[in-house]
Chains A and B, each alone.
Chain A
Amino acid sequence: MQLDQLYQEIILDHYKRPHGRGLRDADDPGDQVAEAHHVNPTCGDEVTVRVATDGTVLHDISYDGMGCSISQASASVLHELLRGRGAGEAFEVHEAFVELMSGRGQVTPDEDVLGDGVAFAGVARYPARVKCALLPWMAFKDAAARAGVGVSPEVKA
Chain B
Amino acid sequence: MTSIAIPPGMPQYDDVPRFDVARVRADFPILGREINGHPLVYLDSANTSHKPRQVLDVLDEHYARHNANVSRSVHTLGTEATEAYEGARAKIAAFINAPSTDEVVFTKNSTEAINIVAYAFSNASLRPDADPRFRLGPGDEVVISEMEHHSNIVPWQLLCERTGATLRWFPVTDQGRLDESGLEDLVTERTKIVSLVHMSNILGTVNATSRIAARVREVGALLLLDCSQSVPHLPIDVVDLNADYIVFTGHKMCGPTGIGVLWGRGELLAAMPPVFGGGSMIETVSMARSTFAAPPARFEAGTPPIAEAVALGAAVDYLTGIGMQAIQWHEKELTAYALEALGSVPDLRIFGPTVPVGRGGTISFALGDVHPHDVGQVLDSLGVQVRVGHHCAKPVCSRFGVPAMTRASFYLYTTTEEIDALVAGLEQVRKVFD
Contact = CB atoms under 8 A, between A and B. Distances in A.
A66 B394 CA distance: 15
Interface in A64-79: 66-70
Nearest to A72: B371
Contact of B403 (A3, A6, A45, A126): A45
A44 B389 contact: yes
Contacts of B377: 3, 6-7, 126, 129
Contacts of B432: 3, 7, 12
A18 to B, nearest CB: 13
Nearest to A132: B373
Contact of B388 (A1, A43, A66): A43
A68 B371 CA distance: 5
Given A1-B37, A7-B432, A46-B403, A68 B373 contact: yes
A152 interface: no
Interface in A1-25: 1-3, 6-7, 12
B404 A43 contact: yes
Contacts of B36: 1
A44 to B, nearest CB: 4
A68 B372 CA distance: 7
Contacts of A45: 371, 373, 403
A129 B389 CA distance: 13
A43 B373 contact: yes
Interface string A119-149: 0000000100100100000000000000000
Contacts of A129: 373, 377
Contacts of A108: none
Given A3-B378, A7-B432, A126-B377, A66 B389 contact: no
B433 interface: yes
B381 interface: yes
A123 B292 CA distance: 54
Given A1-B36, A69-B374, A42 B403 contact: no
A66 B404 CA distance: 10
B298 interface: no
Given A3-B432, A68-B371, A44 B381 contact: no
A69 B369 CA distance: 11
A44 B37 contact: no
Interface string A66-105: 1111100000000000000000000000000000000000
Interface string B346-373: 0000000000000000000000000111
Most chain A CB neighbours (cut-off 10 Å) among B37, B377, B388: B377
Contacts of B390: 43-44
B403 A67 contact: yes
Given A1-B36, A1-B37, A43-B389, A69 B433 contact: yes
B319 interface: no
A46 B373 CA distance: 13
A42 B404 CA distance: 10
Nearest to B370: A69
B326 interface: no
A44 B374 contact: no
* Residue from A2, A69, A129 whose CB has the most chain B CB atoms within 10 Å: A69
Nearest to A44: B403
Contacts of A46: 403
A67 B371 contact: yes
Contacts of B374: 7, 68-70
Given A7-B377, A68-B373, 12 more contacts: A3-B378, A3-B381, A7-B432, A43-B373, A44-B390, A44-B403, A45-B371, A45-B403, A68-B371, A68-B372, A69-B374, A69-B433
7 contacts: A1-B37, A7-B378, A12-B432, A12-B433, A43-B388, A43-B404, A70-B374
